[in-house]
Amino acid sequence: MGKYNIKRTAAILIIVTIIEKLLGFGREMVIASQFGASGLTDAYNAGYLIPYFIMALLNAGLVNVYAPVFISEMEVDKDKAWDKMNSISTYLMIILFVLTIVGILFSEKIVGFIYSGFEQDKIKITASISKLFFIGVFIYSGSIIEGSLLNCFRSFVYPIISISLLSISTIIWVLLFGGTANINSIAQGYIAGALVAVVMQYIKIRSISNRFGINFKPYPQFARKFFGLLFPVLIATSISQANVFVGRIFASYLPSGSMSYLNYGNKVVELPITLFSTIIATIIFPDIIECINKKDDRKLKIYVNKAIVTTLIFLIPSFAGLCVLNKEIIKLIYQRNMFTSENTINTASALLYYSPTIIMYGCTAIISKIYYSMKDTITLMNISIFTIVLNGVLDYILMRPMAHNG
């Protein structure tokens, strides 16, 4: 891809991502306005997190493994590459279907085990939400597979649009059917958006190639290679996501609303990370793969250095702004109707302590692509194990004196 194309693609992605993030904030604003920061929103955040864990694993695994494997296979035999990836995708969806059924059947027991600090009534509400999100995440998993494939063809916009569809449908559903107590409307809107996203990306893929589809033919040798690369990524991602779980588990022992403060604050922090580092990492990923395959270290260093410098130019001011204006930002985004001034203060404090992670996560998003391109997923797994242990220890120590800020 030439420089002009990279700049043009980056500009388009930034515009689309800004729209997607604004819609995401719109969704959070509607939820905050409708339900505030309460036991209900804690139940939503807890219930969503369990099936989201599966989606995050799939997303990280496919985004970082699908592209290197598929691109390598395409260079050897295009037709066989499609057959193999269709087979992998088909069996992945079968596995996810089984996990979805298990999640629905045992949701209350799973919720009770993970969020042992919740009272029984809150466990039941959380389990009800979790069942709906299991369905939604299973449907959206098809969209993730499609998006990973589109990234291989440098079609980056459609996967971002698919995320926007989730926000749009959730906003509409909550406004129409939310009331002040129907917290399930959030999950119902998610399901509707996931269906539209799957159909939209399927149409786009078919416009690129008519080879995409279901394939039950097994390719044992290729499957071992693919899952051999995927498994360490899943472990690393599961440990990374466990960081979120650890925080939520401790938050379940804190007063109602604590989990919501963490979620609302985290959503704000995600904006600059996604807008700058994630977009840049996504754009340069195919080029990093190409440099690794051709063993062109000089060009690889140029790509990575420019990506990190560009990211820091935007992330350092973002970090400073969130530190200084955290209360004003939260008030502007969330404070209305059911979201009170007390909610603003508590969410702003969570945002303040989340702010330093912007720079670390921003650089990690780019550097990790090098390891994925080299198919070195073991190193990332080991790093993730260390971080989850450290996070758990610090959460335990800091929760008592600092509440949700710890």
Q: How confident is the model at residue 94 (pLDDT cuts 50, 70, 90)?
A: very high
Q: How confident is the model at residue 3 (pLDDT cuts 50, 70, 90)?
A: very low
Q: What pLDDT, on a 0 to 100 scale, did the predictor assign at position 105?
A: 95
200, 204, 210, 213: CA torsion to nearest 10:
-40
By mean pLDDT, which of 3-17, 283-297, 378-392 is the weakest? Answer: 3-17
Q: Are 58 and 89 in contact (CB under 8 A)?
A: no
Q: What pLDDT, on a 0 to 100 scale, did the predictor assign at position 254?
A: 85
Q: What pLDDT, on a 0 to 100 scale, did the predictor assign at position 286?
A: 77
SS3 (DSSP) at 114: helix
d(CA 370, CA 253): 39
Mean pLDDT of 93-100: 92
Percent of the chain with pLDDT over 90: 28
Query: pLDDT by residue (tens digit) across 198-223?
Result: 999 999 998 888 888 888 988 888 88
Q: What pLDDT, on a 0 to 100 scale, did the predictor assign at position 4?
A: 42
Q: What pLDDT, on a 0 to 100 scale, did the predictor assign at position 6?
A: 63
Q: What pLDDT, on a 0 to 100 scale, did the predictor assign at position 132?
A: 95
Average pLDDT, the chain: 86
**How far is residue 48 from each of residues 272, 288, 360, measured CA to CA in Å?**
23, 34, 26
Mean pLDDT of 94-111: 93
**Non-local CB neighbours of 193 within 8 Å, separated by 6+ positions:** 165, 166, 167, 168, 169, 170
Mean pLDDT of 149-166: 86
Q: Are 64 and 381 in contact (CB under 8 A)?
A: no
Give me 388's structure tokens: 């989850």
d(CA 155, CA 406): 40
- Please state the length of the chain: 406
Q: How confident is the model at residue 67 (pLDDT cuts 50, 70, 90)?
A: confident
d(CA 350, CA 352): 5
Q: What pLDDT, on a 0 to 100 scale, did the predictor assign at position 7?
A: 66
Q: Please give the residue that has the higher pLDDT: either 30 or 391.
A: 30
Q: Please give the residue that has the higher pLDDT: either 195 or 226.
A: 195
Q: What pLDDT, on a 0 to 100 scale, did the predictor assign at position 5?
A: 60
Q: What pLDDT, on a 0 to 100 scale, did the predictor assign at position 1?
A: 42
Q: Are 400 and 345 in contact (CB under 8 A)?
A: no
Q: What pLDDT, on a 0 to 100 scale, did the predictor assign at position 403?
A: 78
Q: What pLDDT, on a 0 to 100 scale, did the predictor assign at position 228?
A: 84
Mean pLDDT of 66-85: 84
| DSSP structural state of residue 63 | I
Task: Kindly tell me if the per-residue pLDDT of 289 is higher than 50.
Answer: yes
Mean pLDDT of 171-181: 84
Task: Kindly tell me if the per-residue pLDDT of 62 is higher than 50.
Answer: yes
d(CA 188, CA 169): 9
> How many other C-beta atoms are found inside a 10 Å radius of the C-beta of residue 393?
11
Task: Kindly tell me if the per-residue pLDDT of 53 is higher than 90.
Answer: no
Which of 75-79, 281-285, 352-356, 391-395 shows the highest mean pLDDT?
352-356
d(CA 15, CA 340): 32
